Amino acid sequence: MASLFTQPSSSPVLASASDTVATPSKVPLGTSAKHTPLVPFQHHYAHILSCMAKHQLKAPVLGVAWDGNGAGKNSTLWGGEFLQPTQDGTQYGFERVAHFLPYYLPGGESCSLEPRRSALGLLYGCYGEAAFEMTDLAPIQFFTKSQLTTLQKTLTQKVNVSATSSVGRMFDGVASLLNLHHYVGFEGQAALTLEFAATQSSTRSVYPFTVTDTYPNIIDWRETFQSIVEDCRNAVMTPVIAAKFHNTLVEIVVEISHRTNNSQIVLAGSCFQNKILIERAIRRLSAEGFTPYWI
Protein backbone atom coordinates (compact mmCIF):
# COMPACT_ATOMS: atom_id res chain seq x y z
CA MET A 1 0.00 0.00 0.00
CA ALA A 2 2.75 2.46 0.83
CA SER A 3 4.07 2.54 -2.75
CA LEU A 4 0.75 3.88 -3.97
CA PHE A 5 1.19 7.03 -1.90
CA THR A 6 4.87 7.72 -2.56
CA GLN A 7 4.89 7.79 -6.34
CA PRO A 8 6.20 10.85 -8.22
CA SER A 9 3.69 13.28 -9.69
CA SER A 10 4.07 11.80 -13.17
CA SER A 11 2.76 8.44 -11.98
CA PRO A 12 -0.88 7.28 -12.29
CA VAL A 13 -3.42 9.42 -10.49
CA LEU A 14 -5.79 7.97 -7.89
CA ALA A 15 -9.38 8.38 -9.10
CA SER A 16 -12.77 7.13 -8.04
CA ALA A 17 -14.49 5.13 -10.75
CA SER A 18 -17.32 7.65 -10.66
CA ASP A 19 -14.78 10.38 -11.51
CA THR A 20 -13.52 8.62 -14.61
CA VAL A 21 -16.77 8.10 -16.49
CA ALA A 22 -16.74 9.68 -19.94
CA THR A 23 -19.20 12.56 -19.91
CA PRO A 24 -19.16 15.94 -21.71
CA SER A 25 -17.48 17.45 -18.64
CA LYS A 26 -15.10 14.58 -17.91
CA VAL A 27 -12.27 12.85 -19.70
CA PRO A 28 -12.41 9.17 -20.73
CA LEU A 29 -11.42 6.41 -18.35
CA GLY A 30 -7.66 5.92 -18.31
CA THR A 31 -6.51 9.48 -18.93
CA SER A 32 -6.49 12.81 -17.17
CA ALA A 33 -6.70 16.33 -18.55
CA LYS A 34 -2.85 16.31 -18.76
CA HIS A 35 -2.77 12.78 -20.20
CA THR A 36 -1.57 11.33 -16.91
CA PRO A 37 -2.80 7.71 -16.59
CA LEU A 38 -5.64 7.26 -14.12
CA VAL A 39 -6.08 4.25 -11.87
CA PRO A 40 -9.81 3.69 -11.25
CA PHE A 41 -10.98 2.82 -7.74
CA GLN A 42 -14.43 2.09 -6.39
CA HIS A 43 -16.07 5.28 -5.07
CA HIS A 44 -15.96 4.49 -1.34
CA TYR A 45 -12.58 2.79 -1.46
CA ALA A 46 -11.23 6.01 -3.01
CA HIS A 47 -12.57 7.93 0.01
CA ILE A 48 -10.59 5.65 2.30
CA LEU A 49 -7.42 5.68 0.20
CA SER A 50 -7.41 9.47 0.08
CA CYS A 51 -7.43 9.59 3.89
CA MET A 52 -4.72 6.93 4.04
CA ALA A 53 -2.66 8.98 1.60
CA LYS A 54 -3.06 12.10 3.71
CA HIS A 55 -1.77 10.30 6.81
CA GLN A 56 0.70 8.00 4.97
CA LEU A 57 -0.99 4.93 6.42
CA LYS A 58 -0.27 1.33 5.55
CA ALA A 59 -2.70 -1.57 5.79
CA PRO A 60 -4.15 -3.03 7.90
CA VAL A 61 -6.80 -0.41 8.52
CA LEU A 62 -10.57 -0.39 8.81
CA GLY A 63 -12.04 2.20 6.49
CA VAL A 64 -15.45 3.65 7.32
CA ALA A 65 -16.94 5.36 4.26
CA TRP A 66 -20.34 6.99 4.76
CA ASP A 67 -21.95 9.33 2.27
CA GLY A 68 -25.03 10.01 0.19
CA ASN A 69 -24.64 7.42 -2.55
CA GLY A 70 -22.03 5.88 -4.78
CA ALA A 71 -21.99 2.92 -7.14
CA GLY A 72 -21.09 -0.30 -5.38
CA LYS A 73 -19.61 -3.48 -6.80
CA ASN A 74 -22.88 -5.42 -6.73
CA SER A 75 -25.24 -3.20 -8.80
CA THR A 76 -26.52 -1.41 -5.70
CA LEU A 77 -25.81 2.03 -4.28
CA TRP A 78 -23.43 2.04 -1.35
CA GLY A 79 -22.98 4.66 1.34
CA GLY A 80 -22.72 2.89 4.70
CA GLU A 81 -19.50 0.94 4.22
CA PHE A 82 -16.76 -0.67 6.31
CA LEU A 83 -13.92 -1.63 3.98
CA GLN A 84 -10.53 -3.24 4.56
CA PRO A 85 -7.71 -2.95 2.01
CA THR A 86 -6.62 -6.45 1.05
CA GLN A 87 -3.16 -7.66 2.02
CA ASP A 88 -2.60 -10.21 -0.73
CA GLY A 89 -0.02 -8.15 -2.60
CA THR A 90 -2.45 -6.08 -4.66
CA GLN A 91 -2.70 -2.37 -3.94
CA TYR A 92 -6.13 -2.02 -5.55
CA GLY A 93 -8.31 -4.52 -3.69
CA PHE A 94 -10.53 -4.35 -0.62
CA GLU A 95 -12.95 -6.44 1.37
CA ARG A 96 -16.39 -5.17 2.32
CA VAL A 97 -16.38 -6.42 5.90
CA ALA A 98 -19.59 -4.70 7.06
CA HIS A 99 -22.36 -2.48 5.76
CA PHE A 100 -25.81 -1.22 6.62
CA LEU A 101 -28.82 -3.33 5.71
CA PRO A 102 -29.94 -2.13 2.25
CA TYR A 103 -33.25 -0.36 1.82
CA TYR A 104 -35.09 1.01 -1.20
CA LEU A 105 -35.20 4.62 -2.33
CA PRO A 106 -38.39 5.34 -4.31
CA GLY A 107 -37.47 7.52 -7.27
CA GLY A 108 -33.74 6.90 -7.00
CA GLU A 109 -31.68 10.07 -7.31
CA SER A 110 -34.71 12.32 -6.67
CA CYS A 111 -34.38 11.28 -3.02
CA SER A 112 -31.30 13.49 -2.64
CA LEU A 113 -33.55 16.57 -2.82
CA GLU A 114 -36.66 15.03 -1.25
CA PRO A 115 -35.91 13.68 2.24
CA ARG A 116 -39.54 12.56 2.49
CA ARG A 117 -38.74 9.86 -0.08
CA SER A 118 -35.83 8.55 1.96
CA ALA A 119 -38.09 8.51 5.02
CA LEU A 120 -40.72 6.55 3.11
CA GLY A 121 -38.13 4.03 1.94
CA LEU A 122 -36.91 3.53 5.49
CA LEU A 123 -40.45 3.23 6.84
CA TYR A 124 -41.24 0.67 4.16
CA GLY A 125 -38.10 -1.24 5.15
CA CYS A 126 -39.39 -1.37 8.74
CA TYR A 127 -43.12 -1.83 8.36
CA GLY A 128 -43.76 -2.96 4.79
CA GLU A 129 -47.02 -1.76 3.23
CA ALA A 130 -48.33 -0.73 6.65
CA ALA A 131 -46.02 2.29 6.34
CA PHE A 132 -48.44 3.88 3.89
CA GLU A 133 -51.14 3.94 6.57
CA MET A 134 -48.98 5.73 9.15
CA THR A 135 -50.62 9.07 8.51
CA ASP A 136 -49.64 10.45 11.90
CA LEU A 137 -46.03 10.67 10.70
CA ALA A 138 -44.77 13.86 9.06
CA PRO A 139 -43.26 12.38 5.87
CA ILE A 140 -46.45 10.48 5.05
CA GLN A 141 -48.45 13.69 5.48
CA PHE A 142 -46.31 15.39 2.84
CA PHE A 143 -47.49 13.05 0.08
CA THR A 144 -50.89 13.21 -1.54
CA LYS A 145 -53.04 10.08 -1.54
CA SER A 146 -52.39 9.72 -5.25
CA GLN A 147 -48.64 9.96 -4.72
CA LEU A 148 -48.75 7.37 -1.95
CA THR A 149 -50.70 4.98 -4.17
CA THR A 150 -48.10 5.33 -6.90
CA LEU A 151 -45.17 5.01 -4.51
CA GLN A 152 -46.70 1.94 -2.89
CA LYS A 153 -46.72 0.23 -6.29
CA THR A 154 -43.21 1.51 -6.93
CA LEU A 155 -41.85 -0.04 -3.75
CA THR A 156 -43.81 -3.29 -3.76
CA GLN A 157 -43.05 -3.97 -7.43
CA LYS A 158 -39.44 -2.67 -7.16
CA VAL A 159 -39.89 -0.37 -10.16
CA ASN A 160 -37.90 2.88 -10.32
CA VAL A 161 -36.29 2.18 -6.96
CA SER A 162 -32.65 1.99 -5.93
CA ALA A 163 -31.35 -0.36 -3.25
CA THR A 164 -28.87 1.42 -1.03
CA SER A 165 -26.92 1.12 2.22
CA SER A 166 -26.50 4.91 2.43
CA VAL A 167 -26.06 6.57 5.81
CA GLY A 168 -26.44 9.97 4.16
CA ARG A 169 -29.97 9.14 3.04
CA MET A 170 -30.69 7.92 6.59
CA PHE A 171 -29.84 11.41 7.86
CA ASP A 172 -32.36 12.74 5.32
CA GLY A 173 -35.00 10.24 6.38
CA VAL A 174 -34.65 11.06 10.07
CA ALA A 175 -34.80 14.80 9.29
CA SER A 176 -38.06 14.25 7.44
CA LEU A 177 -39.47 12.09 10.22
CA LEU A 178 -38.70 14.94 12.64
CA ASN A 179 -40.51 17.36 10.30
CA LEU A 180 -37.32 19.36 9.69
CA HIS A 181 -37.13 19.00 5.91
CA HIS A 182 -39.21 17.21 3.30
CA TYR A 183 -37.63 19.06 0.38
CA VAL A 184 -34.19 20.65 0.23
CA GLY A 185 -32.40 23.08 -2.04
CA PHE A 186 -29.13 21.12 -2.03
CA GLU A 187 -27.95 17.66 -1.08
CA GLY A 188 -26.93 17.51 2.57
CA GLN A 189 -29.15 20.36 3.73
CA ALA A 190 -31.38 18.08 5.81
CA ALA A 191 -28.34 16.49 7.46
CA LEU A 192 -27.00 19.93 8.38
CA THR A 193 -30.29 20.83 10.05
CA LEU A 194 -30.36 17.52 11.90
CA GLU A 195 -26.80 18.12 13.09
CA PHE A 196 -27.75 21.57 14.38
CA ALA A 197 -30.73 20.09 16.23
CA ALA A 198 -28.43 17.57 17.89
CA THR A 199 -26.24 20.37 19.26
CA GLN A 200 -29.20 21.46 21.40
CA SER A 201 -29.19 18.25 23.48
CA SER A 202 -26.59 16.85 25.86
CA THR A 203 -28.04 13.33 25.96
CA ARG A 204 -25.65 10.43 25.59
CA SER A 205 -28.43 7.90 25.09
CA VAL A 206 -28.26 5.47 22.17
CA TYR A 207 -30.95 3.73 20.11
CA PRO A 208 -30.85 -0.07 19.81
CA PHE A 209 -29.33 -1.67 16.73
CA THR A 210 -28.34 -5.18 15.66
CA VAL A 211 -25.23 -6.48 13.93
CA THR A 212 -25.33 -9.93 12.35
CA ASP A 213 -22.60 -12.50 12.87
CA THR A 214 -22.46 -13.17 9.13
CA TYR A 215 -19.65 -12.11 6.80
CA PRO A 216 -19.86 -9.36 5.95
CA ASN A 217 -21.49 -8.06 9.13
CA ILE A 218 -24.84 -6.43 8.40
CA ILE A 219 -25.90 -3.47 10.54
CA ASP A 220 -29.66 -3.79 10.93
CA TRP A 221 -30.94 -0.22 11.44
CA ARG A 222 -34.63 -1.14 11.62
CA GLU A 223 -34.87 -1.24 15.41
CA THR A 224 -33.15 2.15 15.50
CA PHE A 225 -35.66 3.65 13.10
CA GLN A 226 -38.64 2.05 14.82
CA SER A 227 -37.45 3.53 18.11
CA ILE A 228 -37.22 6.95 16.48
CA VAL A 229 -40.80 6.55 15.25
CA GLU A 230 -41.92 5.74 18.79
CA ASP A 231 -40.06 8.75 20.17
CA CYS A 232 -41.82 10.95 17.61
CA ARG A 233 -45.18 9.54 18.63
CA ASN A 234 -44.34 10.10 22.29
CA ALA A 235 -43.44 13.75 21.59
CA VAL A 236 -39.80 13.38 22.61
CA MET A 237 -38.00 16.64 21.87
CA THR A 238 -36.46 16.89 18.40
CA PRO A 239 -32.92 17.72 19.68
CA VAL A 240 -32.96 14.62 21.89
CA ILE A 241 -33.93 12.35 18.99
CA ALA A 242 -31.35 13.97 16.72
CA ALA A 243 -28.60 13.55 19.32
CA LYS A 244 -29.53 9.93 20.02
CA PHE A 245 -29.35 9.19 16.29
CA HIS A 246 -25.84 10.66 16.09
CA ASN A 247 -24.79 8.74 19.21
CA THR A 248 -26.10 5.51 17.72
CA LEU A 249 -24.05 5.93 14.55
CA VAL A 250 -20.94 6.49 16.66
CA GLU A 251 -21.57 3.30 18.63
CA ILE A 252 -22.01 1.38 15.38
CA VAL A 253 -18.53 2.50 14.30
CA VAL A 254 -17.13 1.37 17.66
CA GLU A 255 -18.91 -1.99 17.49
CA ILE A 256 -17.65 -2.85 14.00
CA SER A 257 -14.16 -1.65 14.91
CA HIS A 258 -14.10 -4.17 17.77
CA ARG A 259 -15.38 -6.95 15.53
CA THR A 260 -12.75 -6.42 12.83
CA ASN A 261 -9.90 -6.07 15.32
CA ASN A 262 -8.11 -3.22 13.51
CA SER A 263 -6.29 -0.58 15.55
CA GLN A 264 -6.27 2.06 12.78
CA ILE A 265 -9.73 3.39 11.89
CA VAL A 266 -10.12 5.66 8.86
CA LEU A 267 -13.23 7.87 8.81
CA ALA A 268 -14.09 9.15 5.34
CA GLY A 269 -16.98 10.32 3.18
CA SER A 270 -19.28 13.32 3.35
CA CYS A 271 -21.13 12.15 6.47
CA PHE A 272 -17.98 12.71 8.49
CA GLN A 273 -18.05 16.40 7.64
CA ASN A 274 -20.67 16.43 10.39
CA LYS A 275 -18.90 18.00 13.38
CA ILE A 276 -20.87 16.11 16.01
CA LEU A 277 -20.44 12.76 14.29
CA ILE A 278 -16.70 13.06 13.66
CA GLU A 279 -15.83 14.53 17.07
CA ARG A 280 -17.83 11.95 19.00
CA ALA A 281 -16.48 9.13 16.85
CA ILE A 282 -12.90 10.28 17.44
CA ARG A 283 -13.51 10.55 21.17
CA ARG A 284 -15.18 7.15 21.51
CA LEU A 285 -12.70 5.32 19.30
CA SER A 286 -9.78 6.82 21.19
CA ALA A 287 -11.36 5.84 24.52
CA GLU A 288 -11.69 2.26 23.26
CA GLY A 289 -8.00 2.07 22.32
CA PHE A 290 -8.27 2.68 18.58
CA THR A 291 -6.37 5.29 16.58
CA PRO A 292 -8.80 7.26 14.36
CA TYR A 293 -7.79 9.14 11.22
CA TRP A 294 -9.92 11.54 9.20
CA ILE A 295 -9.65 14.04 6.36
Contacts 24+ apart (CB under 8 A), 178-184: 178/138, 178/232, 178/238, 178/241, 178/242, 179/138, 179/238, 180/238, 181/115, 182/114, 182/115, 182/116, 182/138, 182/139, 182/142, 183/113, 183/114, 183/115, 183/116, 184/113, 184/114, 184/115
- Tell me the residue range of the domain where 279 lies: 103-294
Q: Both 22 and 135 in a single domain? A: no
- In this predicted structure, the answer to whether residue 40 has a pLDDT above a threshold of 90 is no
Q: Do the strands 161-164 and 210-211 form a parallel or antiparallel pair, or are they unpaired? A: unpaired
Q: What is the mean pLDDT of residues 225-236?
A: 99
Q: Both 109 and 204 in a single domain? A: yes
pTM greater than 0.85 (yes/no)? yes
**Alpha-carbon gap, residue 205 to 277, rounded angstroms:** 14
pLDDT confidence bin for 92, thresholds 50/70/90: low
Is residue 233 situated within a structural domain? yes
Is residue 72 situated within a structural domain? no
- Which residues are paired to 96 by β-bridges? 83
Is residue 152 situated within a structural domain? yes
Q: Both 32 and 156 in a single domain? A: no
By C-alpha distance, which of 275, 268, 219, 270 is closest to 248? 219
Is residue 79 situated within a structural domain? no
Is residue 277 situated within a structural domain? yes
- Which residues are paired to 268 by β-bridges? 65
Is residue 139 situated within a structural domain? yes
- In this predicted structure, the answer to whether residue 85 has a pLDDT above a threshold of 80 is yes
- Of 24, 41, 58, the residue that ends a domain is 41
State the CATH number of the domain containing residue 131: 3.30.420.40
Is residue 89 situated within a structural domain? no
Q: What values do phi and psi take at 234, rounded to 5?
A: -95, 10
- In this predicted structure, the answer to whether residue 236 has a pLDDT above a threshold of 80 is yes
Q: What is the mean pLDDT of residues 158-164?
A: 94
Q: Both 198 and 268 in a single domain? A: yes
Q: Both 32 and 155 in a single domain? A: no
Count of domains observed in the chain:
2
pLDDT confidence bin for 34, thresholds 50/70/90: low
**Alpha-carbon gap, residue 21 to 121, rounded angstroms:** 29
Q: Both 171 and 249 in a single domain? A: yes
Q: Both 240 and 154 in a single domain? A: yes
Q: Both 30 and 128 in a single domain? A: no
Q: Both 215 and 121 in a single domain? A: yes
Choice among 44-53, 127-136, 251-260 with the minimum mean pLDDT:
44-53
- Which residues are paired to 81 by β-bridges? 65, 99
pLDDT digits (tens, 9 = 90+) for 203-212: 999 999 999 9
pLDDT given at position 11: 39
Look at 258 and 76; give whichever has higher pLDDT.
258
Count CB atoms within 10 A of the CB of residue 279: 12
By C-alpha distance, which of 74, 92, 111, 52 is closest to 295? 52
Is residue 5 situated within a structural domain? yes
pLDDT confidence bin for 32, thresholds 50/70/90: low
- In this predicted structure, the answer to whether residue 9 has a pLDDT above a threshold of 70 is no
By C-alpha distance, which of 210, 192, 205 is closest to 236? 205
Q: Both 31 and 120 in a single domain? A: no
- In this predicted structure, the answer to whether residue 21 has a pLDDT above a threshold of 80 is no
- In this predicted structure, the answer to whether residue 247 has a pLDDT above a threshold of 80 is yes
Q: Both 129 and 3 in a single domain? A: no
Task: Give the burial string for 35-72 (b: 16+ CB within 10 Å, else e).
Answer: eeebbbbbbbbbbbbbbbeeeebebebbbbbbbbbbbb
